[in-house]
Structure 1
Amino acid sequence: MLPYLNLFGRVLPTYSLLGVAGVLLGLLVALARCKRFQLSASDCAYIYVMGGVGAVIGAKLLYLIPLLPQMIADLPLLGQNPSLFFARYLTGGMVFYGGFLGGILGAWLEARYFRLRFSDFFPVLVPTLPLIHALGRVGCFCAGCCYGVEAAEPWGIPFTHTIAAPNGVPLLPVQLYECAAELMIFLFLLWYAPRAASKGGILRAYMLAYAPVRFVLEFFRGDVVRGIYGPLSTSQWISLAVMAAAIVWLVRERRENRS
């Protein structure tokens, strides 16, 4: 695949470039829609940026949790070879759900600091999530991480020059499947945002749309770094929790509206 790009004489990771492109594109989309929902573009930008900071921290933390036993065993490397320890655990490696939860927390704290109602910004911020994630998954495909199970051609694609996937083995391009699903969710949320019965409805819609997709696609993942607990992966357990939370939220809101 294409794990690195040569731009202006510098070799840069494709995954990182696409991640940055996704964040910038998401910001542009959010700011462009602020006027429609009578929101301050500057307030939106502050909340978006802090949400991004929280997302990076959360994504990294959740990536490290399944690796804790191995990381504890490698603690002596901090004294013997710290660069190897940092390269092994602190470079690359992100888990979306950690980013999702961390991003919400970071954005909420920023809105609280400026005494803004966080839910007012949901219609412009929530649709950016699947858009950013879609470009991130293309980056995963280029880097060879988050790869799928072995599959015969033409369903499987043999990877070459990857940093994570086994080279020369036909693998299901599950990253691209998720990218396509994310783009469909993005378009749906753009349509749904002005029609949601409540401002929280768009976040709930996203949770109900994405969690089942992620749950199913995890069965077709071939990498083991994501962690397996019992019959399911870390992200599958979280997907079930997200779906349950969204359903409970929906039921409670409907009951409150009836009373």
Structure 2
Amino acid sequence: MVEPPGRRRSKRASTFRNTIRANSNHITRPVLIHPQFDPVAFSLGPLSVRWYGLMYLVGFALFAWLARVHARRLSAPFDGAAIDDLLFWGVLGVILGGRLGYVLFYKPEWYLAHPAEILMVWQGGMSFHGGFLGVLAAIALFARRRGRRWLELTDFVAPLIPLGLAAGRLGNFINAELPGRVTGVPWAMVFPNVDSQPRHPSQLYQFALEGVLLFVLLWWFARRARPRGAVSGAFLAGYGSLRFIAEFAREPDDFLGLLAFGLSMGQWLSAPMILAGAALMLWAYRRARLGASG
């Protein structure tokens, strides 16, 4: 008889607990063990809904709700139809850009040899930086259709993104994917699907930093009108900085490892965001001062 995934994961976690107890003479503190959740949240007949996909839906729903709240508090010219249209284009940008970004930034040789697998999104493999570029392109198309300024739209959208990122990192944690580096901190966690080494729960670090903390900062910063481009710049610099920091605790991808100067691919992709964000904020405030003095 074939056991359900949840039971198999439970047995695997139990095996690792026994292994750790058997070697308790080498351990001086309790060790947290990832629960090895079933990746399927629920099933409806033959349809299985996975946690990671559910987190994407949560992120999109949060965007739609926050956009309406944000539009009201700024008295911005965004009605429900415009927000839904913007969300539609944003979803396309996230999915297409995220997938292509992963293909190009992380595993170009593999997908060059297996091009049919580029379309197999359900197998996993999404890149934030690729999804970010996809969203920028989608906003540009939306701006052209609606006759709006691109930076005006990116300023409006920027504070709405971090909670969606937080939901995605929770999905990573539930799936026990993208674990952290081996560590001896008191809250280290063993991911039985990886090995028996205690590791940083880096998915939760990213949930807290580039998700919750970045949302709080941007939501506060964007509570009133700022020079055009300033909120977008704050997002770029803020996300880039927090992701750069979190990457020190995250295990680099096996097929890439650490790159030049001991930095990960995520850090190399985040560094230009920090520089671009700082430059955009300086430009925005300088332009506003020149406009006021002129």
Match of 1:12 in 2: 49
Q: Determine the C-alpha separation between the residues in 1 that align with 2:84 and 2:120.
A: 33
Are 2:166 and 1:156 equivalent residues in the alignment? no
Q: Determine the C-alpha separation between the residues in 2 that align with 1:48 and 1:11.
A: 25
Higher mean alpha-carbon deviation, 209-218 vs 43-52, is at: 43-52
Match of 1:82 in 2: none
SS of the residue corresponding to residue 223 of structure 2 reads helix
**Conserved? CA contact 2:237–2:276, under 8 Å:** no
Match of 2:207 in 1: 179
Are 2:100 and 1:61 equivalent residues in the alignment? yes
**Conserved? CA contact 1:14–1:139, under 8 Å:** yes
Match of 1:239 in 2: 270
Q: Which runs of 5+ in 1 are unaligned?
A: 79-84
SS of the residue corresponding to residue 183 of structure 2 reads coil
**Conserved? CA contact 1:59–1:96, under 8 Å:** yes
> 1:247 Cα shift?
1.8
Are 2:145 and 1:116 equivalent residues in the alignment? no
Higher mean alpha-carbon deviation, 116-125 vs 147-156, is at: 116-125
> 1:87 Cα shift?
8.4
> 1:89 Cα shift?
7.0
Match of 1:195 in 2: 224
Match of 1:97 among 116, 119, 129: 129
Q: Determine the C-alpha separation between the residues in 2 that align with 1:130 and 1:229.
A: 27
**Rg: which structure is higher?**
2
Amino acid at match of 2:110: Q
Distance 1:155 1:40, change over 3 A: same
Are 2:84 and 1:45 equivalent residues in the alignment? yes
> 1:5 Cα shift?
1.8
Matches within 5 A, 1:187-226: 187-224=216-253
Match of 2:173 in 1: 141
Higher relative contact order (Cα pairs below 8 Å, separated by 6+ residues): 1
Match of 2:157 in 1: 125
CA RMSD of aligned residues (A): 2.5
Q: Determine the C-alpha separation between the residues in 1 that align with 2:255 and 2:86.
A: 29
Match of 2:112 among 25, 49, 72: 72
> 1:197 Cα shift?
2.6
Q: Determine the C-alpha separation between the residues in 1 that align with 2:147 and 2:120.
A: 40
Aligned residues: 247
Amino acid at match of 1:133: L
Q: Which runs of 5+ in 2 are unaligned?
A: 1-35
> 1:122 Cα shift?
4.1
> 1:257 Cα shift?
3.8
**Conserved? CA contact 1:64–1:89, under 8 Å:** no
**Conserved? CA contact 1:122–1:203, under 8 Å:** yes
**Conserved? CA contact 1:54–1:106, under 8 Å:** yes
> 1:130 Cα shift?
0.5
Match of 1:253 in 2: 284
SS of the residue corresponding to residue 33 of structure 1 reads helix
Task: Give the percent of matched residue pairs that are identical in Structure 1 and Structure 2.
Answer: 27
